[in-house]
Structure 1
Amino acid sequence: MNEDKCFADAAFSDIEVVARYTEGPRRVVPGFLDMQRMASLLLAERVPENGRVLVVGAGGGLELKAFAEAQPSWSFDGVDPSAEMLTLAEQTMGPVASRVHLHHGFIDVAPDGPFDAATCILTMHFVGPEERRRMASEIRRRLKPGAPFVVAHLSVPQNDEERTVWLSRYAAFAVSSGVESEKAMKARDTVDSQLSILTPGEDETILQEAGFSNVSLFYVGFAFRGWVAYA
């Protein structure tokens, strides 16, 4: 297991971190709820009425709940390495949990499918480039031909000046959302030192090398970016 995985495991095994998680994304990710809604619409362009969707990094259950409520005939498989976050997902989903199968582990524990679509939201920045390539390839292998894949995470230019500017904007948005300034700056420093942030070009190349086509940017929220691509 690489250091990036170890960091994610430690962070999302912390009871206090897990307890606060459901409020976190909307406070630090600009347009988080609209990004989820856009993701759902992009999936719906190709997923059939009774489609089956793979959600990688499903802990917390936020996107599972959003997708399941928007599409009441879809079923889902959610994968996450944190048992605590999967427990939170069950609580978050409420009644729609009956259409979701949760799997504890990394991408390897996901069913082979084939799935009609997949998502990986706010997850890839927790793993290094090589693991990211492997995840993208494993997700692609589990999709039907032409199936959409929606992915979103931190992605910024990497020269020192630009990286600093974008991560400072990340902190400023958190403060504007009500996060205490000291905590926002501490989070910014943790993101800078602990997470694996690539450039947008590198992220797109990983998707292309995994076998995805028509990689298109659909979302930018300061330091976060989201793409849709097709198997």
Structure 2
Amino acid sequence: MASFDDPAAVANYLAGPVAKVPGLLALHRMAELLLAEAVPGAGRVLVLGAGGGLELRAFAAARPQWRLVGVDPSAAMLALAATTLGDLAPRVELIEGYVDAAPTGPFDGAACLLTLHFLEPAERLRTLRALRRRLRPGAPLVVAHHSFDTTDAGKQRWLRRYAAFASPSGTLDAGAEAAIAAMRARLPVMAPEAEVALLEEAGFAGVELFYAGFTFRGWVAYRA
């Protein structure tokens, strides 16, 4: 996660997810629609891991009455989010920090996209519980991140597929192989069934899979 404070990495961030996450812009649209099923017209929505601002921009553009709060630990990424939002920026409150820095709410919905896969299971559970405390009963939480078969063979198979998708040529060079090895070693990926169990342990119910794209999965769940 240190790369999110690297000015060069931050400057090039926006092009990365769009190219490397299958259907990222559609994922944002799906997340907005799932939230809108339960968030009222002038509802309040929390976005955790909001640096870069792509999902904030999608939500703000589609739902002009929503009050949005974006939280991210990287000041550089929040600055990029403000730039990404452009003239929508005044409608979004940006807060530097982790989940504990977020207002207590209650919020009408929350999203956490491409973030939880950086957290070890214990910290992931703590973060989900902190999100739950900030939601009103029945409010939706939309999450999406890396989640796939975590056996040795499964990790190798799925990470190679992901790397091929992220490569313009669809082939794996030495750099891609090094990236696969780094992800295997450093990314605390959880299998899909473990993700669902963790959401339920954190106090969410009605967990439904809505998105799957190679190594990525997305769920919607509701504060019990």
If the length of structure 1 is used for normalisation, what is the TM-score?
A: 0.93
Alignment match, 1:3: none
* 1:185 Cα offset (Å): 3.4
| Percent pairwise identity | 54
Matched-pair contact (CA < 8 Å) for 2:164–2:171: no
What secondary structure does 1:21 align onto? coil
Q: 2: CA distance between counterparts of 1:35 and 1:179?
A: 25
Q: 2: CA distance between counterparts of 1:87 and 1:131?
A: 26
| Structural RMSD (CA) | 1.5
* Equivalent residue in structure 2 for 1:150, among 142, 165, 176: 142
Matched-pair contact (CA < 8 Å) for 1:51–1:74: yes
Moved more, 11-20 or 184-193: 184-193
Alignment match, 1:139: 131
* Counterpart residue type for residue 38 of structure 2: R
* Counterpart residue type for residue 76 of structure 1: L
Alignment match, 1:41: 33
What secondary structure does 1:230 align onto? strand
Say whether residues 1:186 and 2:199 are aligned partners: no
* 1:180 Cα offset (Å): 8.3
What secondary structure does 2:5 align onto? coil
Q: Matches of residues 1-231 of structure 1 in structure 2 within 5 Å?
A: 8=1, 10-176=2-168, 181-231=173-223
* Counterpart residue type for residue 35 of structure 2: L
Mind listing any 5+ residue stretches in structure 1 that lack a counterpart? 1-7
Structure 1 residues 81 and 178 mapped into 2: Cα distance closer, same or farther (>3 Å)?
A: farther
* 1:11 Cα offset (Å): 1.4
Mind listing any 5+ residue stretches in structure 2 that lack a counterpart? none
Matched-pair contact (CA < 8 Å) for 1:166–1:223: yes
What secondary structure does 1:114 align onto? coil
Structure 1 residues 181 and 97 mapped into 2: Cα distance closer, same or farther (>3 Å)?
A: farther
Query: Alignment length, in residue pairs?
Result: 223
* 1:172 Cα offset (Å): 0.6
Matched-pair contact (CA < 8 Å) for 2:99–2:131: yes
What secondary structure does 2:135 align onto? coil
* Counterpart residue type for residue 98 of structure 1: P
If the length of structure 2 is used for normalisation, what is the TM-score?
A: 0.96
Matched-pair contact (CA < 8 Å) for 2:50–2:81: yes
Structure 1 residues 218 and 145 mapped into 2: Cα distance closer, same or farther (>3 Å)?
A: same
Matched-pair contact (CA < 8 Å) for 1:52–1:115: yes
Matched-pair contact (CA < 8 Å) for 1:156–1:166: yes
What secondary structure does 2:149 align onto? coil
* Counterpart residue type for residue 210 of structure 1: A
What secondary structure does 1:98 align onto? helix
